[in-house]
Every structure is written in structure tokens, then in C-alpha cells.
């Protein structure tokens, strides 16, 4: 028995593999292209562990997919492989279309060919879980009800449009071909091993370097924050017990505006690594908002709780404290993943916006 995890060297995928192997001994075949955000250093604790087999490759490589499926015969596939940063999708949308849409199509086609030829008992037990985002639902105003699984898609960025497309493909392959599909749509993840272009690790990294903490617009864009290991436990729950063809929203029940997230990080840094120059909030810098910036996301995660009994174990207060502590204790990891290419892109992105 083995499961195939695509994108397993990225932030959520790597945390999922580490979490999976903490709670059971079923081996993991990890397929990752190792783009800028895929980093095997996330999985160094598994070095020499026979339960983890890594293959560098693209979900768009049909020859490789056919080979891996035939050789390893996974009982389940968990698809994390995706380009996932809104700002990068604005600067370069083509990569998002190629990976999130075309890549998902090739993966589905390979899986369809493999699944169709399985013996009846293996076919009945097989599962494909597609990991997606709350951003496919669009934007909410203050006072609007949170997103449910029946909220119409209304993506507003090239990234969210590409993920919405992949969600539609997964749904279509279930209804057209009978593939045993499950979809999860999660809110903003945070925690260890997150690439330092996302809000929380970027604020920690910049603060410890004495650099400005860039806040888009007025800082009042609201997100629901989900600690990454809670997300991993939810995916395991859906994979094991979810109803085929269903979508499950996964949220942390932690709606907060971005400015409050950054101030919370600053307060924890003041406590854990005080700066002689003064409170880290002195570094707050408001910059021009990004194009099409969604105002609010909020997830109604009651379905997964009522049907499958899942709820998050971490509050935002416990999760963010663990996260800041992890980054401070692992600054060498941060330096290693923050390549010259990454710094060049980050400097370009924020230089274009400028301080307000």
C-alpha cells in the first residue's frame, strides 16, 4: 500500500507528508517538480526513511506519470501540485495556467487510464483528493455570510481562476468518468516551512532584518487563518471518510485583517527577540494595493465538522506563537530557501508599489 503525493516538497505538501508518516507507516511516493517553492530541505527529517520515496518530475509529464502509476500502484493520490501565489500570477499568469490547468488535466488523464484498468476491488478502494483554495469563491464584503461548498465560483486573479478551472476539471472527471474524486478548499495556511513570500513568514524575515513590513492598501483585507497541521489532519480525514464527488471547505475559524496579523507577529517578536531599536511595529509601511485585491475571505467549515467530525486543534493564538518560534529557531532554513532569484522577484514586486 502506498499513496502518491504531488507537490510534496512545497509548504503544505511537505507538512502533509511529515504529518502522514507521524501517524501511520503507509509509504509515500512524492512527486515534485522542485520549482522555486519546492524544497527538499523541508523533508530532511525523512532522510534515510524508506517510507518516503522522492521523484523529481512534473504532473504534466504523462510518460512519467504512467510509469509511476504502473510501478507503484498507489491506492490514493493527494494533489497539492500548484502554482499558488497571487502576486506571482499577476506578474506571470502563464505558469499558473500550465501547472494548475494543463498539469491537472494531464494528471487526471493518467489517473483515468490507470484506474480504469484496476481490478474491481482496487478500483473501488481508489481515491483522488484534489487540494484547492477558498479564493475560487471570490471576495466577500463585511457582513456577508462565509463561503459554503455551494457558493458560486467567482475568481478574481489569474491564480484563483486557474484553481477554479482545476476544480471544475476534477468535478467533471468524477461525473463523466466515475473517477472517485474528493475536493478540499482551504483558507489561508500558515506554519513551519512556508516559503517567505507569503504574509506571515515575509513579516518575520523582514522584521528580523530591520527591513520595512509592507502592508497592502489600508491593511484591512480579511482572511481566515488555518494552521497547516490542522489542514493536514483535515485532508487525512476527508481522504479516509469523505463522500465521493463531494467538496469540503476547510477553515480555521480565525477571521482577521492583515494589519492585525502583522501587529500580532510584531508583538511576538518583541517578546521572543526584542530589538534594541524599538518595537517592530516601527517598520510598518503601507504600500500601494495589488490589483484586484479581494477584500475578505471567510469559510464555513461546518460541513466537514458535521459529516466527518473534524475541527481545528489550534487557535490562532497558539498557532501563530508556534509559527514565529519555528522561524526564529530555523533562520538558516529561511536563508537557504531565500535564493537570489526569490529576492530579485520580491524586490521587484514591492518596488513597483512603493510606500504611501
Residues near 350 by Cβ (< 8 Å), separated by ≥ 6? 214, 287
32, 83, 87, 159: the active-site residue: 159
Beta strand pairing status for 127-133 and 76-79? Answer: parallel
Per-residue 3-state assignment (H helix, E strand, C coil) for 40-53: HHHHHHHCCCCCEE
Cα–Cα distance for residue pair 93/330, rounded to 1 Å = 32
Judge whether 49 counts as a catalytic residue: no
Are the CB atoms for 319 and 191 separated by under 8 Å?
Answer: yes
Cα–Cα distance for residue pair 80/193, rounded to 1 Å = 15
Extract the C-alpha cell encoding 193: 516551512
Extract the C-alpha cell encoding 32: 515534485
**HSE-up (13 A, CA, CB side) for residue 257:** 13
Instruction: Using DSSP, state whether 301 is helix, strand or coil.
Output: coil
Cα–Cα distance for residue pair 70/67, rounded to 1 Å = 5
Residues near 24 by Cβ (< 8 Å), separated by ≥ 6? none
- Angle among Cα 13, 230, 102 to the nearest 5 degrees reads 35
Distance of alpha carbon 99 from its chain centroid, rounded? 14
Extract the C-alpha cell encoding 160: 484563483
Are the CB atoms for 285 and 266 separated by under 8 Å?
Answer: no
Judge whether 347 counts as a catalytic residue: no
Give start and end residues of each alpha helix (H) in 178-257.
199-208, 228-241
83, 87, 134, 230: the active-site residue: 134
Q: Which residues pair with 307 in a beta bridge?
A: none
58, 87, 135, 255: the active-site residue: 135
Judge whether 135 counts as a catalytic residue: yes
531565500: which residue's cell? 338
Q: How many residues does the chain have?
A: 356
* Helices (H) then strands (E): counts for the chain: 14, 12
| Residues annotated as part of the active site | 134-135, 159
Amino acid at each position: 500500500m502506498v499513496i502518491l503525493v504531488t507537490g510534496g516538497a512545497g509548504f503544505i505538501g511537505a507538512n502533509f507528508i511529515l504529518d502522514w508518516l507521524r501517524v501511520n507507516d503507509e509509504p509515500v511516493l512524492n512527486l515534485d517538480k522542485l520549482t522555486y517553492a519546492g524544497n527538499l530541505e523541508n523533508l530532511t527529517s525523512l532522510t534515510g526513511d524508506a517510507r518516503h520515496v522522492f521523484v523529481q518530475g512534473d504532473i504534466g509529464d504523462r510518460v512519467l506519470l504512467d510509469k509511476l502509476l504502473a510501478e507503484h500502484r498507489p491506492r490514493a493520490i493527494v494533489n497539492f501540485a500548484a502554482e499558488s501565489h497571487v502576486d506571482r500570477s499577476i506578474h506571470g499568469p502563464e505558469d499558473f495556467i500550465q501547472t494548475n490547468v494543463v498539469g491537472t488535466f494531464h494528471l487526471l488523464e493518467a489517473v483515468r487510464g490507470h484506474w480504469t484498468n484496476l481490478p474491481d476491488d482496487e478500483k473501488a478502494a481508489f481515491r483522488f483528493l484534489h487540494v484547492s483554495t477558498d479564493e475560487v469563491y471570490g471576495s466577500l464584503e463585511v457582513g456577508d455570510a462565509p463561503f459554503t461548498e455551494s457558493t458560486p465560483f467567482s475568481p478574481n486573479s489569474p491564480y484563483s481562476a486557474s484553481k477554479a478551472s482545476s476544480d471544475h476539471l476534477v468535478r467533471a472527471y468524477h461525473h463523466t468518468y466515475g473517477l472517485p474524486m474528493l475536493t478540499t478548499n482551504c483558507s489561508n495556511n500558515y506554519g513551519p516551512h512556508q516559503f517567505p513570500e507569503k504574509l506571515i513568514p515575509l513579516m518575520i524575515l523582514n522584521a528580523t532584518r530591520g527591513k520595512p513590513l509592507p502592508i497592502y492598501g489600508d491593511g484591512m483585507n480579511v482572511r481566515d487563518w488555518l494552521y497547516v497541521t490542522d489542514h493536514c489532519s483535515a485532508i487525512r480525514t476527508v481522504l479516509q471518510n469523505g463522500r465521493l464527488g463531494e467538496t469540503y471547505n476547510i477553515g480555521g475559524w480565525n477571521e482577521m485583517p492583515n494589519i492585525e496579523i502583522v501587529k500580532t507577529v510584531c508583538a511576538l517578536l518583541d517578546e521572543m527577540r526584542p530589538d534594541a531599536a524599538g518595537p517592530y511595529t516601527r517598520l510598518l509601511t503601507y504600500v500601494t494595493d495589488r490589483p484586484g485585491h479581494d477584500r475578505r475571505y471567510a469559510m464555513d467549515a461546518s460541513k466537514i465538522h458535521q459529516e466527518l467530525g473534524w475541527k481545528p486543534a489550534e487557535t490562532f493564538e497558539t498557532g501563530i506563537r508556534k509559527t514565529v518560534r519555528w522561524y526564529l529557531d530555523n533562520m538558516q532554513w529561511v536563508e537557504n530557501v531565500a535564493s537570489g532569484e526569490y529576492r530579485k522577484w520580491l524586490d521587484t514586486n514591492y518596488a513597483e508599489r512603493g510606500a504611501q
